[in-house]
Structure 1
Amino acid sequence: MKYMQIVSLFSLTVLPQCQVTLRNELKQLYLFEGSAAVEVTWKGKSTVANQEDIVVGETFQIKNTSAIAVKLKGIALRTTHFKLPSKTIVLDRESAPHIACLIHSNEETVERLLTEAENQIAQLCEASVEQVNGRPGSREATDSLRKQTGRIDNRLIVANRHIRRHYDQPLTLQVLADLICCNPVYFCNTYSKVFKISPMKELQTIRMNKAAELLRSTHKSIKEIAANLCYVSSSQFSMKFKEYYNCTPNEYRRATSLQRSNEDARDTVSL
């Protein structure tokens, strides 16, 4: 599509009871997110953008009415081939995941993420223009965006598949976020909402299930199993295992071995 060009990534701090203005220059579009609620005003109309809300617009004043400093993180885009929004748009992260990732991108990943976000930005602007002009179709455009963003972000599926296939490798939240070119905090929050479990908890669960399987079905030492599952030491592995199963790996192995022996004995008697 490539109807947008990145002008800059920006980060601003708005002191308590102070105000900043983002002005439109050369069809420039601003997208930003704040660390706390701010008041956004354009053409005399004000609205409140809460923490982690995404604000999209071309020219507006941002006022911090709180008692703490608010950090704004965003991106400025130069647009062509479609009209800028006719009003300031405020939406939550969940309804526009690609835009949220774009805002939290860095210089190395921003171009790649822009391609994914363009459709969402264009639909938002189109819906805004139609709504202000009173033309039919604004509701349909907004519903279309909601349906599009209601699907699971494919990058989350990629991350989930990577965890399941490479649980025996040194995975961290940062490694997984970098894999899909996403901010670690946003990735963790979104993954948790979609899969009902955090990515690192998912990793631990898979490793613990595999550990139990190895303890039951092999004669590998605790040290070998710990190394196989990418734990830095057998003591770290044993601590995690006890937290998960409420017993040590050796206790689990003895208990499962005893259970199998009892089951074999019962089978022998029944014969």
Structure 2
Amino acid sequence: MRRVPNFVLLRAFEAAARLESFTLAAKELHLTQSAISHQVKELEEYFGRRLFDRRTRRVELTPEGKRLQESLSRVFDVIEAACNEVALAPQAQVLAVYCAPSFAVKWLGPRLPQFMQTHGDITIRLSSGAEAIDLTHAREVDVAITYGSAHTRAGLTVRPLGKERILPLCSPSLIDANEPLRSQMEKLPLIDSQLSRVTWSDWFGANGMVCPTRPRASFDRGALAISAAVDGMGIALESIRLAERELSKGDLIALGEDEFTHIARETHFLSYRQNEAHLQKVDTFVAWLLGQLGLGAED
């Protein structure tokens, strides 16, 4: 048996914490303000510590209450999503996709509306994280798209999603059309992507140049580095796959495509369980994803 307080008490606390009011929580849960107060007090007795500081006209969470609220909010979101999925039409399917954050924001997310319009019987539940996950243990995830590497295990299909060209990207406003690009690369501010598989040292070395040692702005997500480059902070060394919208709108330009030696790497990997490859939701999503990337089933 799980050692957790009565769910009714947790529900009362979550509503009161979210709404910052016992009165509003009572209205939401169709209870009296006194009932909410008693339920919160019983929960505080269970933990042996206060969760709220009672003021004259309001309540404030204690540090312990804030910690509980943060965790409970995530749990209630999951419960709500699970209940919504049960209410779907009988033929509907839910596909749980785990995706690297920058790929999710910059590439996958903008394309999901088209997928959902074409495949209305499949509901996407998207989560993101920087770490590769092991689908032999993470049974709640159907398909994973990870950055840098993927867990290879018996029973899993893992495939790279094609090589991505890693180029210097910056706002057009930073470039002086009258000065050689090589000299500008040595002077302009550079932006580091901390998790990138290609570093500035790699790029400068490939082009027979010395990498500047001056301080550089640094970001732990490619999407953040791209946004910083759009804002004129400097030159980001990033995948043009992730920056395709910024490039198409002219917010960024790729520097010296015909002048510099550029680097390509396999950086994103798709994985799913082999014994679920035949499931319609998995098969449909995988085929759509590879098609969007211009990759065949055996590429």
Q: TM-score range by the shorter chain?
A: under 0.3
TM-score, scaled to structure 2: 0.22
TM-score, scaled to structure 1: 0.23
**Larger helix share, 1 or 2:** 1
